[in-house]
Structure 1
Amino acid sequence: MYIAIEGIDTAGKSTQIERLREHFKDAVITKEPGGTEIGKEIREMVLSTRAKSKRAEFLLFLADRAEHIKEVVEPNQGKLIISDRSAVSGVAYALVQKEIDKKDLVLLNNFATNGIYPSKIFLLKLSEDELRFRLSQKELDGIELRGVEYLLNIQEAIIEAAKLLDLELVTIDATRKIDTITSEILNNIN
Structure 2
Amino acid sequence: MLISFEGVDGAGKTTQINMLKEIYPNAIITKEPGGTELGAMIRSYLMSNASKISQRAEILLFLADRAEHYEKIIKPNYKNLILSDRSFISGLAYAMANDDNLDIKTLIELNKFALCSDFGDKFIFLKANKELIHQRLFNRDCSDEIESRGIEYLMRVQEFMSIILTDLKFEVLEIDASLAPEIIQDKIRKFI
Q: TM-score range by the shorter chain?
A: over 0.9
- Give yes or no for the alignment of 1:30 onto 2:33: no
| Secondary structure, aligned partner of 1:63 | helix
Deviations 1:61-101 (A, max 9, x none): 00110011111111111110000000000000011112531
Q: Report the AA paired with residue 90 of structure 2.
A: S
- Give yes or no for the alignment of 1:168 onto 2:171: yes
Q: 1:110 aligns with which of 109, 112, 129?
A: 112
Q: Report the AA paired with residue 191 of structure 2.
A: N
Q: CA deviation at 1:165?
A: 4.2
| Residue in 2 that maps onto 1:134 | 136
Which of 118-127 and 26-35 deviates more?
118-127
Deviations 1:103-161 (A, max 9, x none): 11111000110111121110111122222332333345122222221111111111122
Q: For residues 1-190 of structure 1, what are the structure 2 equivalents within 5 Å? A: 1-50=1-50, 51-98=52-99, 99-139=101-141, 141=143, 142-189=145-192
| Secondary structure, aligned partner of 2:83 | strand
Cα distance 1:144–1:19, how it changes in 2: closer, same or farther (>3 A)?
same
| Secondary structure, aligned partner of 1:49 | helix
TM-score, length-scaled by structure 1: 0.93
Q: Distance in 1 between matches of 2:38 and 2:146?
A: 22
Q: Distance in 1 between matches of 2:162 and 2:64?
A: 23
Q: Report the AA paired with residue 123 of structure 2.
A: I
Q: Report the AA paired with residue 73 of structure 2.
A: V
Q: CA deviation at 1:41?
A: 1.3
Q: Distance in 2 between matches of 1:177 and 1:109?
A: 34
Q: Distance in 2 between matches of 1:48 and 1:138?
A: 17
Q: Report the AA paired with residue 48 of structure 1.
A: S
Q: Are the aligned partners of 2:126 and 2:174 in contact in 1 as well (CA < 8 Å)?
A: yes
| Secondary structure, aligned partner of 2:43 | helix
Q: Report the AA paired with residue 85 of structure 2.
A: D
| Secondary structure, aligned partner of 2:25 | coil
Q: Are the aligned partners of 1:4 and 1:85 in contact in 2 as well (CA < 8 Å)?
A: yes
| Secondary structure, aligned partner of 1:4 | strand
Q: Distance in 2 between matches of 1:67 and 1:113?
A: 9
Q: Are the aligned partners of 1:11 and 1:125 in contact in 2 as well (CA < 8 Å)?
A: yes
Q: Aligned-residue CA RMSD in angstroms? A: 1.5
5+ long unaligned stretches in structure 1: none
Cα distance 1:44–1:131, how it changes in 2: closer, same or farther (>3 A)?
closer
Q: Report the AA paired with residue 65 of structure 1.
A: R
| Secondary structure, aligned partner of 2:34 | coil
